[in-house]
Amino acid sequence: MKRLTRRMMLKGMAAVGVSMIAMEGLAACAAPVAPAASSQAAGATPETTEIRFGMWQSDPGLLKAVQDVMLSDYMKKNPQHDVKLEMAVWGDYWDKLQVQVAGGTAPDVVWMSGAMFYDLQERKAFTELTSYIDRDKLDMNGYWSEPIYTQEGHVWAMHFYTMVHALYYNKDMFKAAGIAEPPTDWSSKEWTWDDYRKAAQTISGKGADGQQRWGAEIYNDMEWGWGTFILSNGASVLNKEKTEATTNTPEFIEAIQFLVDMIHVDQSSPAPGEPAAALGAGLLDNFQAGRVAMRTGNNSRLPTYISATNFQWAPCVPPRASADKERKVYWLENPFCMTSSSKQPDAAWSLLRFIGSPDGQKTIADGKIGMPSLKAMAVDPNGTFLKPPPDNLSVFPDGINGGYTTDLQFTKQWLQWYTVMLQELDPAFLGEKSVEECCNNAKREIDKVLSSL
């Protein structure tokens, strides 16, 4: 079977809202978007202030909305500023940014992930924004805010969009199999692991077109793969103090075993390296391809799935381990930070303020490129974000507002322990070693990294 390399997996980090399974078919996907040249408008004068704007390569729909709508709108309203987009794929983006931070040459504004925030903050990479916020009398209480960016009363980032996990399902496959659609109420006692497993088993097999299809898409990843399941079972990767791993607990092992059995016993999810699940050009995952009926994911995948017009789909609540156990999912932000090396901090702040403004947040809502971090815009029943298609988009704000979310336990060297964890769990998902052995090995290796912090 095909074993994914860690480098490829990191390029599809869950923490950026990009499916890691999508990276398995990276070479077959559409050509990468090249780093943009200056977005300078015609007629700009030499006095124009250039703002360097760093992003990693993400969903094409998101990038198009940011460049062609958000940044274009900003420059029309601020003709004295010219925004230059600097972009690279995930792994290269962080490699380059660390070199730039060390050399004092980082872009003025950079897209940030909790996966690297603590490491870069320790190097004093960012400008604290509280003085700007106080000066402009901005009310930040109207946003969902990930705690790591607001430590000890300081604000280190401007909100962009908020990502909450749920379950995506193929309405057509459910209807054809005679299965009732899953609930959208997070408190519903229905839709348990058993229900999810039975639905996946019923749907799996040959479709009407003779092609193989599966009920679910399951693979080894903390956020986009097994995370929702361990959380629902009362488990976590680290303890509350983030001082040691808890991947060896019975609750963690039970959740991983449940998913591995769906792959190798039920065969209701593609096995790693399954030839029939290979992705073609322009496809990020098998749900988008119409080959699987269910997959977990956050709302950053909306623009990708909206492009799938050959079947009906919607988000719903994920399955709960049992009727007496609460649903729990990950949530995160990927906000924008001002770098401490910026030579034009006032211009950089002007852009950051626009991103978090109703005008900037409307770009996110209108294009459904995620869920706006501005709460009022995300929950407005008459707004563009909740407006179908697809149905059930309120499941995302309902999840975070109802307290069904938790963070990804970011720490310094998060990427390092995350990587060794997946390496140790790989053999379980490949069917090469027992789940219990792999979970114990994962704890041992994660603890080694944590002890070095």
Q: What mean pLDDT comes out for the span 248-262? A: 98
Lowest mean pLDDT across 12-26, 134-148, 171-185: 12-26
- 97: tokens are 């940014």
Instruction: Tell me: pLDDT of 9 over 70.
Output: no
What integer pLDDT is reported at residue 32 of this predicted model?
34
Sign for the CA dihedral angle at 342, 347, 352, 353 comes to positive
d(CA 256, CA 280): 29
**Which pLDDT band, with edges at 50, 70 and 90, does 34 fall under?**
very low
Quick check: helix, strand or coil at residue 158?
strand
- Res. 404: pLDDT tops 60: yes
Confidence (pTM): 0.89
| Confidence band of 30 (pLDDT split at 50, 70, 90) | very low
Question: Which carries the bigger pLDDT value, residue 58 or residue 300?
Answer: 300
pLDDT for position 58: 84
At 432-445, the pLDDT tens digits run 999 999 999 999 99
| Mean pLDDT for the stretch of residues 68-77 | 94
- Quick one: pLDDT at residue 340? 98
List domains and CATH numbers for the chain. 6-27+164-331+408-450 (3.40.190.10), 31-162+333-390 (3.40.190.10)
316 contacts 214 by C-beta, under 8 angstroms:
no
Q: How far apart are CA 295 and CA 404, in angstroms?
A: 18
User: Are the CB atoms for 109 and 126 separated by under 8 Å?
Assistant: no
From the DSSP assignment, how many helices (H) and strands (E) are in the chain?
18, 12
Residue 250 sits at φ, ψ, to 5 deg, of -60, -35
Which runs of consecutive H residues, i.e. helices, occur in 35-179? 60-64, 72-77, 90-103, 114-122, 130-135, 171-176
Q: Cα(415)–Cα(116) distance, rounded to whole angstroms?
A: 7
Cα→Cα distances 372→22, 190, 259, Å? 24, 29, 32
User: Rounded to whole angstroms, how far apart are CA atoms 389 and 88?
Assistant: 31
Q: pLDDT, tens digit, for every residue of 155-180? A: 999 999 999 999 999 999 999 999 99
Confidence of residue 64 (pLDDT cuts 50, 70, 90): confident
Reported as a pLDDT band with limits 50, 70 and 90, residue 59 is confident
Helix axes 250-264, 193-203, angle to 10 degrees: 10
Cα–Cα distance for residue pair 391/313, rounded to 1 Å: 8
- Percentage of residues in the chain with pLDDT exceeding 70? 90
Average confidence score pLDDT of the chain = 90
Main-chain phi, psi angles of 406, to 5 degrees: -145, 165
What percentage of the chain has pLDDT greater than the value 90? 82
Report the alpha-carbon distance of residue 273 to residue 252 in Å, rounded: 25
pLDDT at 174: 98
* pLDDT class of 45 with cuts at 50, 70, 90: low
State the pLDDT confidence band at 41, using cuts at 50, 70 and 90.
very low
